[in-house]
Structures are given as C-alpha cells and as structure tokens.
Structure 1
C-alpha cells in the first residue's frame, strides 16, 4: 500500500511567483505542487498538497491527518513565528513533520529567527528555494524505508 504525505502550505504562498520574486523566486504554488507530485512518484508516495490562508483550516487538516498519513511536509509561512496553536496541533496529530521554508529565515528580520514549529519537527529545511520540498519528501522516503527494515 502506498504511503501518503500531506504537504501543507500557509498564508500568502498562493502568491508565489508574483510576491517578492527576488526573495521567493518565480515559481508558482502550482509549480511547487508539480515538484512534490513528481518526487512522490519517484518514491512511490502519494502526495496530498494543500494551501490555506486560514489558520484554523490548517489546524483542522493536521487533526484529520492523525493516523492517516505517514508524515507532513509543512511550510507554515508567517505562522512559523506566531502560532502556538499550529505547534499544539502538530503535537496532537502525533505525526512526523518536516518544516520547510523557501527563504533562509535566519538571514531575514530578527522576528523570523524564532520558530514555534522547529522543536516539534523531525527536521527543518530552509533557504534552498522550492527544492526544499523535494528534499523533505526524500527525507520522509528515507525514514519510511528505514522503518520497513
């Protein structure tokens, strides 16, 4: 049976490709979804790709995923630095999460250096552009391969 990864994207990521392209690049969220789907195929993983600008919706998705997916690739965007509620939802889901950021948050404003997600994530990828999503999927594939041995 093929394992499923949930790829969740937070606020403003629907504007990729047009919002601050000097920082986030010219790829769109549809391009990121294609990257994830292709990488999922390589590893025989199903990808459930979503984006929301509503914090409660993302929390609901985490709750619903509990016991149903192998892991979550999460780009919480600005909620990284503000949302204890998303952190708590990750803990409640009992799912492994890899936190992904397109930009290197540590080279940006000081308030972006603090993540409420990193300490409950199994891994963090930042600053590698949209390729970070592919690396996160590779990371889960490696974890799942190790679990099956």
Structure 2
C-alpha cells in the first residue's frame, strides 16, 4: 500500500540550522526535508511538507488534507504548549498523528514539559533530532495506519 503522510512544521522551524544549533543541530530546514523525502521514497511513502509560523494556516492545512492523507507527523513548535485550536483540529480529523520534537522538551524549560497536542496524537517522539521524523514515519507505516484509532 502506498501511504500518504503530511509533515507539518510549526513556528520557527524554517530557521533550523540557524537558530539554537546546540539544541536543534546544524541541519537546515531544506536539508531536513530532503532527508525525509529520500527516506520516504525508500519506503514507498508519498509525503507532503508544510511549514507555517501561523497557527490558523496549520489548522487550515490539517482540515484541507483530512480526506487525502493517511497520517500526520507534526512538530508544532511553540504551539505544542498552548494551541487548543491545533489540538482540536488534530482531534477533529481523526487521522493518526505523531508529535515530534527534535530537542528533548522534558529536559528544557518547565513550560515546555506540557503538550496540549500530544494527548490527541497516537504518540510523541522527543529528543532524537531529525531521526525522530523517520521513526515516526516508520511507526505509522509499520503499524499505525491500518489499526483503528484508539487514543486512550
């Protein structure tokens, strides 16, 4: 089966490789997208990438793609910690999603320890750098897409 995955990157992730390289590494956003695309091709997975610094645009994209994709891999950036609108969008579309963070959000400032979006995602990967995006894809294609969605 040829799966279709939507990768969503939230605020400031377009500056990967430039900002806080001690946390996020030196790989640029464009290099990250290229790496994910290469790994997707190896697995026969179709991928679409979307980055926005605007909460509403991300919500709109999730809603627009809800009937076209099999899974969502999302790094909401700072929206992770406060966006009820994003949480509601992920919950409403009933598409299995995995939240990914390149840095270990639990080893950072206390306000980053809480995710409002993770409870409506199938899982969360944190602290493994760019590899987390590949692991999320593997989880979805190996098991996650075919099984019924049960979040709790």
**Superposition pairs of residues 81-100 of structure 1, within 5 angstroms:** 81-100=81-100
Secondary structure (helix, strand or coil) at the match of 2:7 reads strand
Q: TM-score, normalised by structure 1?
A: 0.94
> 1:13 maps to which residue?
13
Distance 1:27 1:111, change over 3 A: same
SS at match of 1:41: helix
**Structure 2 spans left out of the alignment, 5+ residues:** 148-152
Structure 2 residue aligned with 1:33: 33
For residues 29-88 of structure 1, give each alpha carbon's deviation from its aligned partner in whole angstroms, at most 9, with x where no partner exists: 111111211121122110001110011000001101212100000000000001000000
The answer for the alignment partner of 2:142 in structure 1 is 142
Which 4+ runs in 1 deviate beyond 3 A? 144-147
Specify the alignment match of 1:60 in structure 2: 60
Distance in 1 between the 2:50 and 2:146 partners? 27
Q: Distance in 2 between matches of 1:146 and 1:140?
A: 9
Q: CA RMSD for the aligned pairs?
A: 1.3
Query: How many aligned residue pairs are there?
Result: 147
Larger deviation, residues 95-104 vs 39-48: 39-48
> Would the alpha carbon gap of residues 145 and 106 (structure 1) be closer, same or farther in structure 2, given more than 3 Å must change?
closer
Cα distance in structure 1, aligned partners of 2:103 and 2:45: 26
8-17 or 34-43, larger mean C-alpha shift = 34-43
Q: Distance in 2 between matches of 1:45 and 1:37?
A: 9
- Give ranges in structure 1 of 5+ residues lacking alignment: none
Structure 1 residue 146, shift from structure 2 partner = 5.3
